[in-house]
Amino acid sequence: MHEDFDLAARISRHTLIARAALAVAALAFAWGVARLALHAADALADPFGRDYGEGVVWQQMLRIIDGTGYAPLREFPAFVFNYPPVYHLLTAATASTFGLDQLFAGRLVSLVSTIIAAVLAGVMTATAIGRGESRRVRAAAGAVTALSFVTLPLWLTSALLMQIDMLALAFTMAGLVLVVRAVERPNLAIAAGVLFTIALYTRQTSLPAPTATFLILLIARPRAAWLLLGSAILSSSAALGLIQATQAPAFLTNIIFYNLNRIAWDHATKVLLVLLANIVPIALGGIGFAATMRRLDPRDWRTWRDRMARESGLAASAVVLLMVVIKTLMLPMILKSGANDNYLIDWFVGLAILIGIAIVPVIRAATAQPSVPSGVLLLLIGLGLPIQMLDPPLVPVPTAAENLAEMQALVARVRASDKPVVSDDMVLLRRAGQSVVWEPAMIAELGSAGVYDQARLAMHVRRGAFGFFVTHGERGDLIYDQRFTPIIADAIDAAYPRRERVGPLTLHLPR
């Protein structure tokens, strides 16, 4: 009797602590969701560019719509297509269907895709945990995954831009959810293969998830693995044929050969800062990784096929684990000069799923089940999450009315120019009705690689072929020097020596 009383007391104590930790985490998540909503409202109301790539994607979309996308690189327009067309086509369809501004539509597609990816990540977590846990535990863990993902500070930029990444992730997660069910229903692998193909034709680096699923299915259910591969190959070939038939003939040349980047070692510092800003989710994901490794026991991989047939969710756990490992090995790609923290997106969704797995002992304890979660886990959830969630701030810094007026005046100056304007902010060009005739970052990369004739381009600059230049920073600043090679920078200094500041931008004006 006394022992039963002690056990009940311990369970009650652990239950109270776990409930308190989860309650604090819930408040932190509510703060994070509110922050994303406020930043999203601010981004959707902003008519100007927030990222270098937005104007690039916008111009690519217009060319793809009129059937001139993926043309071979010419002297002018000095512009390439470094992304496949799915995001562009869906954004154009959204804008046309609902009568939306195209930049607004692009940002809306990214935001909705982020929410869909978060929900699907939660579903993946519940599947990976398996039916050995109660439905309530699986649902709660899935909710933690979705909230852990959608409240990451990274999405205050990536989820609110006219960029391809979040849509590619949404298709990838849909494919994952289907493919892990293919262990029991192999024919679902066909649809999963199509979804992975769509993800790949949204962002060509969407490979870790399909690679991981194919390798695990080869062990768990070989028939499903070959159905997945066959479906992906057939749908990919059909998509390639359709693009070749409706666009200019250099699709593969654009997205592979022209997609060159130098190494930018300073990106290592940026990556470190992003990782530090997300140290709590990374630590929680590490706990989930260790728990998943113990469950799988890779030393005994020869028994996986039999175990995956018996243990619900084991295949899904293996897929997530391998996906995170593959993506971790690919992280050095972020050192490319054109890369950004968007290269961490797939990695963070894998970590979010592992967070949901890590938190299962806390949920068990909170529901009065026998469970003793570790003190580190409780501290990370109840203390680490709310502390980290305080930065960035809840409300975005509002754009000053004078800054909007300056940008509108700059749009008018671009529109009035009788010569093409070269701008780092290519949304400005689109707002002014100008096409992009020179995309600085990619042309700098191709010029450095000897693919594009920088000397001839410099000659055009020196003779004043452009109205003026709009750049982020000036010569000597890292971002400027990455986008304008020394031969081009010398020509700009010679032919466009006057400088004028407009908000964060520098204008280079002729004599």
Q: Is the pLDDT of residue 324 over 80?
A: yes
Check: CB of residue 163 under 8 Å from CB of residue 57: yes
Average pLDDT over residues 495-508: 94
At 410, which amino acid appears?
L
pLDDT above 70 for 9: no
- Residue 401 confidence (pLDDT): 66
User: What are 219-261's pLDDT values in tens digits?
Assistant: 889 999 999 999 999 999 999 999 999 999 999 999 988 886 7
Pick the closest to residue 197 from 161, 245, 244, 230 (CA basis). 230
Q: Is 90 exceeded by the pLDDT of residue 79?
A: yes
Question: Hey, which residues does 471 pair with through a beta bridge?
Answer: 506
Residue 432 and residue 419: Cα distance in Å, rounded?
13
The Cα–Cα gap between 147 and 125 comes to 12
DSSP assignment letter at 451 = S
Note the pLDDT of residue 116: 98
Q: Is 4 exposed, middle or buried (0-12, 13-18, 19+ CB in 10 A)?
A: exposed
Whether the per-residue pLDDT at 46 is higher than 80: the answer is: yes
Half-sphere exposure of 444 (CA within 13 A, CB side): 20
- SS3 track for 17-84: HHHHHHHHHHHHHHHHHHHHHHHHHHHHCCCCCCCHHHHHHHHHHHHHHCCCCCCCCCCCCECCCCCC
- Give the containing element (helix H, strand E) for 91: helix 86-98
> Which strand ranges, in their side-by-side order, compose the sheet holding 498-502?
422-423, 469-472, 505-509, 498-502
Joined tokens for residue 306: 């039999």
The percent of residues in the chain predicted with pLDDT above 70, rounded, is 95
Nearest to 157 by CA among 25, 264, 13, 50: 50
Side-chain half-sphere exposure of 352, counting CA atoms within 13 A: 26
- Of 216-220, 330-334, 366-370, 412-416, the range with the lowest mean pLDDT is 330-334
Nearest to 362 by CA among 141, 81, 184: 141
Q: Check whether 2 has a pLDDT greater than 60.
A: no
Per-residue model confidence (pLDDT) at position 456: 95
| Region for 473 from its dihedrals, namely left if φ exceeds 0, alpha if ψ lies in -120 to 50, beta otherwise | left
Closest to 288 in 3D by CA, of 352, 334, 223:
352
DSSP labels, 371-389: ----HHHHHIIIIIHHHHH
Helix pair 279-296, 345-358: axis angle to 10 deg = 70
- Residues near 435 by beta carbon (within 8 Å), at least 6 away in sequence: 59, 62, 77, 420, 429
- Using pLDDT thresholds of 50, 70 and 90, give the confidence band for residue 8: low
Q: Write down the mean pLDDT value for the chain.
A: 91
Q: Which of 12-21, 284-293, 427-436 has the lowest average pLDDT?
A: 12-21
Q: How far apart are CA 135 and CA 143, in angstroms?
A: 12
Task: Give the model's confidence band at 506: pLDDT under 50 very low, under 70 low, under 90 confident, else very high.
Answer: very high
pLDDT of residue 22: 95
pLDDT given at position 306: 86
